[in-house]
Amino acid sequence: MKQHFILLLIFLFFTVCAFSQTVEGYVKDAATDEVLTGTSVYYKDKGDMVAVLTDVKGYYKINVPDGGTILYYSYLGYEPETHPLVVRKGQTLQLDMYLKVQTELMKEVVVSAGRFDQKLSEITVSMEVLKADQIAKQNATDLSVVLNTLPGVDVTDKQPSIRGGSGWTYGVGSRSLVLVDGMSILTPAVGEINWNLIPMENVEQVEVLKGASSVLYGSSALNGLINVRTSRPGLTPKTRLNMFQGTYMDPKNESYVWWDKNFWQEGKFPVVPLFRRNLLSGIRNPIYTGVDVSHTRRIGDFDVSAGLDLYTDEGYRQDNFNQRVRIGGNLTYHDPNVEGLSYGLNANILSNKYSGFFIWRSANEPYMQSPMSNMGREGNMFYVDPFLNYFNSEKNTVHRLKGRYFYKSDQIVSNPTDKSLADILGNMGYDYTKTSELAGIIQDPQSILPAFTPYLNPLDISGLVKGVESLGKYYFPKATAPDIVDLMSFITNRMPIPDDPTEMISWINNAVDPAPKTSPADHTYSAYLDYQFSKKWNDIQFTTGTTYEHTANQSAVTGDHASDNIALFFQYDQKLFDKLNVSAGMRLEYYRVDSLYKEAETDIFGLDMPFKPVFRAGLNYELAEYTFLRASFGQGYRYPSITEKFVYKDIGGVAAYPNKDLKPESGFNAELGIKQGYKVGNFMGYLDVAGFYTYYKDMIEFQFGAFNTTTFDYIDNIGEMVGDILVGQIPGLGTRFANVSRAKIYGLDMSVMGMWKISPSTQMTYNVGYTYIEPIDADWKETQEDEAAHPDKIKEKSNDSKYLKYRQKHTVKGVFDFQWNRLTVGTNLTYKSKTLAVDYFMVDERTTQPSFSDEVMDVVRSIIFPGLHDYWEAHNTGYFAMDGRIGVEVTKKIQFWVMMNNLWNKEYTLRPMDVSAPRTLILQMNAKF
């Protein structure tokens, strides 16, 4: 009986197998015939989804019910396809599917908004998308260049700002998070964006999410998110090569030129571009050169990609250079024994030598850096990112595990002046017979106070200034303000004179031929782990996860500090009535620095909880075909980086001072928007309009001014400054980060993107945007009242307006490209209105009767920032700039470009002493093999 039962079971098994229905085949790219690994193939059965993924060969096999069925094919970046079919009992159907690359802008697929694939038209927040070809035609030396062409996005001094969310912080403590394949490239401990780390040679798509994104991505996404997605290998090996060379032309004002035909041969310049000594030796102007190469391929069950980037920029401003060598790649293994499982690692190594530009020497020499801020950096960094992904097609679940180990070592190398002491004194007309007399004053500064006593009680600023000028002309009859700064910088860096006679020879040699001054190297270590789980039920998507990061910073100057960050996040997304997309999320974040600081402490019903909760919610409703309304609200939160709290860099000149009491900043962003697709004749694309409101509490700003060099306190009144000087405590010039105010930023952001299909071989693409912002300092009235009550107080900003510093109200941008057969002609257009306010320590824009403190500050500015007031008054009027380019596709694989940036050679500035690059000629070659 038992044997009969077993035979019956075997018979039933084979009967079921014989009458099961199967569809199998391959999914490929319709244009290249390349297989598409990981394509989702599914059908719906009584409301449930049954799905499989194609394997590394693009093959799929799925069991379907008998009778009529609709198969769906979905792959990121491709048009989704549906295929209705009828399968009889027991039938096996061979069905290959060819997918087309996504071309309709309204169906663009993005991942940044919710950490899963979504159509651009259905997300609940504003987003801009850049494709690889858009980046290539901009000759983007780094990503910040092309981001500046996007509506609502600005990058100043490498610091991104979305809709006016950030002012000027000189790169440190970014409010906009930058990711590469979902992993942050913000430097741990510093919080700066190192644009040199982004693999431009292998970028597939860039997604810019506007508005607070802290729920899914954490602290630094307070103002928005920039996610760079790299291209993935296929069966066909691909190699991309990009070579370019740019030449900075002469500015309109020829007096700015500091170079000559042999300037690079003298050996005084920190970097030498590729081919500079041979092929490009005849070019007398500063240049930059670069070579990018990448290779991707699939080898068996492995995806392999590798890239190399070489870039050197001499800089149009003296001692403002950049040199990088970056090597990186990815290795992914698709496990053939476990469907949906893949794992591997990403790695990147960067060697970098660079210097920014902070303060000019004078308004007559805006391309020459002040010796007080002439600091370069040298360093190396690398990271290794192991990861594991598992997609369970039966349960519709995804597990993602990502880790990172990061290390960075860098040091400041100061070259405060390339002039010797003899050169400086010679320029100032110094009489060497008065050396012993001057040395006595240096050793005892208070010895000259009696000469100024008549001007001190009561204080007579004009008399005091005349007395100082008289004393200066006595010793230095030919001195100009820049010469005085040269001498101040030299003294700061080379003094004191050694007491030990055996060290005098070394000191004298250094005074005659100054050597660079190097600070001790800083070391940063970071370990990061991110786990994400998501599950889909029909039209419901649930995402949750946790992150942990430990950062250690070792510095001989600031001391050793460490931080820990732990977060837990949840996100719920659902589509209702096939029209309405609903999204909601929450994040709990814990952060501490060392053992004494609980940065994320929150008062909840009277209890101090050691974490910070943030929330977001959004709606997107399809009002009509190609018409989508959206509304969103998101809280943001950003804790200050270790550098912002503890930085202390003082190797002469302008210093950076710590602020241990710096608090986290928080806020929220709300917006209402509409995305409208259109097709009028041969025009097609979409219009996007959004009104937004952003609020910040305890906003962190860059504070520039005078500081007590012992306590590091900010000196906010003239009386304190004069008092310190009288007792021999000379204030330090520098910067620090401080919680300065509450802020309200609201406005309108609109853009039109699309294509005009003129003929089968002729088309024009365009992206035009306008952004209007009202960046209001919510505490401006209280600040004015306080300044009025204390006339000796050093003011916060350059005018009495209600506006935040370093913002512009109106911005218009346009990118146009006309393509005819193999020829492309394009242009970038930018208009910006005037900068609303800057630091008072730099510029005083008030027209009222100057107070006592104003008079003193005018004297300080005239020495440290020669000519800045008049220059800013003349040039802070808004500007219009234009770039042009012509590209020729020689073959399907090789393209040449000739570009001219700043076509009309405009001279403009967005912040004091940061003058735009002159007209720049660029030659570029792109090749794909």
pLDDT-wise least confident of 293-297, 433-437, 781-785: 433-437
pLDDT in tens, 884-926: 999 999 988 899 999 999 999 999 998 899 999 999 999 999 9
Angle at 376 between CA 643 and CA 642, to 5 degrees: 5
Q: Which two tokens stand for residue 124?
A: 């609940």
Query: Which residues on adjacent β-strands are paired with residue 81?
Result: 73
Provide the pLDDT confidence category of residue 49 given band limits of 50, 70 and 90: confident
**The pLDDT of residue 103:** 54
User: Residue 110 pLDDT more than 70?
Assistant: no
**CA distance readout (Å), 498 to 238, 494, 507, 584:** 62, 10, 8, 66
Q: Name the residue type at position 242.
A: N
**The pLDDT of residue 11:** 38
pLDDT in tens, 663-707: 888 888 999 999 998 888 888 888 999 999 999 988 888 777 788
CA-to-CA distance for 917 and 906, rounded, in angstroms?
9
**The pLDDT of residue 29:** 82
Diameter over CA atoms, the chain: 126
Q: How many percent of the chain have pLDDT more than 70?
A: 85
- Whether pTM > 0.75 for this model: the answer is yes
End-to-end CA distance of the chain: 69
User: Residue 504 pLDDT more than 70?
Assistant: no
What stretches of 314-435 adopt beta strand conformation (E)? 322-334, 341-354, 360-362, 365-369, 375-392, 397-414
Residues written for the chain: 929
- Which residue carries 């030598």 as its tokens? 353
CA-to-CA distance for 528 and 546, rounded, in angstroms?
11
Provide the pLDDT confidence category of residue 4 given band limits of 50, 70 and 90: very low
**The pLDDT of residue 165:** 83
β-pairing, 176-180 with 224-230? parallel
CA-to-CA distance for 398 and 413, rounded, in angstroms?
48
Higher pLDDT, 349 or 710: 349
pLDDT in tens, 568-625: 999 998 989 888 999 999 998 888 888 765 666 666 666 666 778 889 999 999 998 8
CA atoms in the 13 A half-sphere facing the CB of 588: 8
pLDDT-wise least confident of 523-527, 734-738, 814-818: 734-738
Q: Return all residues near 423 (Cβ < 8 A) that are at least 6 apart.
A: none
Higher pLDDT, 543 or 468: 543
Q: Return all residues near 115 (Cβ < 8 A) that are at least 6 apart.
A: 182, 216, 532, 534, 543, 571
CA-to-CA distance for 373 and 544, rounded, in angstroms?
46
pLDDT in tens, 312-326: 999 999 888 999 999
Element (H, E) at 628: strand 627-638
User: Residue 8 pLDDT more than 50?
Assistant: no
Q: How many percent of the chain have pLDDT more than 90?
A: 30
Instruction: Look over the chain and give the mean of its residue pLDDT values, rounded to a whole number.
Output: 83
Q: How deeply is 45 buried, as exposed, middle or buried, from its count of CB atoms within 10 A (0-12, 13-18, 19+)? A: exposed
Neighbours of 473 (CB within 10 A): 12
Helix (H, G, I), strand (E, B) or coil at 150: coil
Q: Which two tokens stand for residue 171?
A: 């790169």
Q: Return all residues near 472 (Cβ < 8 A) that are at least 6 apart.
A: 479, 484
- Mean pLDDT, residues 135-143 taken together: 81
